[in-house]
Structure 1
Amino acid sequence: MVVLKLGGSVVTIKNGIMQSRKGAINRLAKAIAQARLEQPGLSLILVNGAGCFGHAVVKKHEIKDGVRTLEQKIAFADTHWCVNQLNQIIVRALLDAGVPAIGLPPSSLLNQENKRIANFDLTKVRQFIEFGMVPVFYGDFVLDSVQGGSVVSGDQIVPYLARELKATRMVFASDVDGVCDSDPKTNPNAVCVRLVCEKNKYEVLAKLEGAKTTDVTGGMKGKINELLEEAKITPIFIVNGNRAKRVQKALLGKKVKGTLVKI
């Protein structure tokens, strides 16, 4: 079992308004299909980030810190509608590539408590996997017992699924080559760290900066913080999603340019 996260910055034009990167999505879909052909027994779950389909709406309507008013509830539903559109674009590309993908909305399957996953009904997920299908989740806006509603990011969903479904590895397709000692988008001399382990994790975190375009789910430092505990159980590969072949290799557990997080 492998859980793959397609970063929002890979599948969308992040500063755009509901603009997907269809070429990148199609290339990734074909790479995923090829990995399944190469390893027919590969069980796979996908999670796509929301990118510009979600973050802009959340910021515009100021619902990051809770949903109370009618206007905010409409914004909640609007955010879900927007991110669902992106998910359907990705699912369509996967289907066209020969992958039996099915989009599953987190808002229908999980609840949060103060912005953290409180419960997640995985019954249908397990059934789809056993049936040989590929569930595709996404960053979404969900019910929250404290906030009313809150964002559940793909970076929360991936480790939760990996832990509960006992994945052998997690793969994160980002828009950079891996975890770097500074932001490679602003520093051309940034060096990517090939291994984040118990010995160097604090040093790496100290050097990390927020992503060049900070979204409502945090930059690279926030993402790594989210994953460190899980990396004690399940190894994590972070690769450049703009290089579809690297994603394919990572899915198959092959040697690939990127960062391995293993604590």
Structure 2
Amino acid sequence: MIILKLGGSVITRKDSDEPRIDMNNLQRIASEVANASPSSLLIIHGAGSFGHPFAMKYSIGSEIVDEDEFRYRRMGFGITQNWVKRLNTHVCQALLDEGIPAVSVQPSAFMVAEDGRIKDPDLSLIRSYLDEGFVPVSYGDVVLDLNRKRRFSVVSGDQLINHFSAELMPERVILGTDVDGVYTRDPRRYPDAELLEVIGSIHDLEALEGTVNTDVTGGMAGKIRELLALAEKGVESEIINASVKGNIEGALMGREVRGTRITLKG
């Protein structure tokens, strides 16, 4: 079984002031998944412009100080949940159009968090879908939080990868982003930035410059921390550029694709 993560920056216009889908990327990626035709696949996608602006506007996950703020956050929770669900519908439709038996799995319908971390999710439904040959499609979402000072939290797609992989133990985890992998510096700003082919410890992350961006899910730094925690459980992962034609198809078929591998150093 393979877990494929599609970054929100790839399938949406994350820099947009309003929710917008990058249909060219989404349709091409769906076609590549169909061409690769992996025997067992779970897809997780980010929220991009369908989630981050709303989660930030309503400060989902921050401490709630009074009843007025609770009502404000509660409405924001519903709005954010609705928008990310809309994106998931588009992703599933693109896959269905390519003959892929995609089925939506909404995190806020079956899991909660505690202090912003997923709390004991029951993955039996996902296992059943996989056993029946479906391609479950889950996504970054907002969920209830057991911490009564928070009440609500954002659960990123990267956190979902960590928990799903620890339970399902996939053969491979592939993360499709809008860059070739992890660089020593931001490659958009620094032409001399170098691609790191392997990251094997938290010390590698701390030594990086310019790879940390700011959003409600922690940016690239948050992604790497989740993947290092996953590597400690025995599951390696790779970060590739899903915006490049053929990369998703190649990675799903086991071909070598330019990117960064996350694994524990021996």
CA RMSD of aligned residues (A): 1.5
Cα deviation per residue 1:15-65 (whole Å; 9 max; x = unaligned)? 2111010110000000111111xx4xx211111100111110111122231
Letter matched to residue 10 of structure 1: V
SS at match of 2:246: helix
Task: Quote the residue 1:77 is aligned against.
Answer: 78
SS at match of 1:15: coil
SS at match of 2:133: coil
Cα distance in 1 for residues equivalent to 2:99 and 2:245: 16
Cα distance in 1 for residues equivalent to 2:206 and 2:248: 24
TM-score by length of 2: 0.92
Alignment partner of 1:61 is 2:62: no
* Equivalent residues of 1:46, 1:137 under 8 A apart: yes
TM-score by length of 1: 0.93
Task: Quote the residue 1:121 is aligned against.
Answer: 122
SS at match of 1:190: coil
More divergent stretch after superposition (63-72 vs 234-243) = 63-72
More divergent stretch after superposition (177-186 vs 56-65) = 56-65
What pairs with 1:1-263 in structure 2 (closer than 5 Å)? 1-16=1-16, 17-36=18-37, 39=38, 42-66=39-63, 69-146=70-147, 147-198=150-201, 202-212=203-213, 214-232=214-232, 233-263=234-264
* Equivalent residues of 1:66, 1:149 under 8 A apart: no
SS at match of 1:159: helix
Cα distance in 2 for residues equivalent to 1:240 and 1:217: 19
Percentage of identical aligned residues = 38
For structure 1, list consecutive stretches of 5 or more residues without a partner in the other structure: none
For structure 2, list consecutive stretches of 5 or more residues without a partner in the other structure: none
More divergent stretch after superposition (166-175 vs 66-75) = 66-75
Cα deviation per residue 1:131-167 (whole Å; 9 max; x = unaligned)? 0000000100001100211000001001211110111
More divergent stretch after superposition (151-160 vs 184-193) = 184-193
Instruction: Tell me how far 1:215 sits from its aligned partner.
Output: 1.4
Cα distance in 2 for residues equivalent to 1:62 and 1:203: 30
Report the count of equivalent residues.
256
Instruction: Tell me how far 1:236 sits from its aligned partner.
Output: 0.4
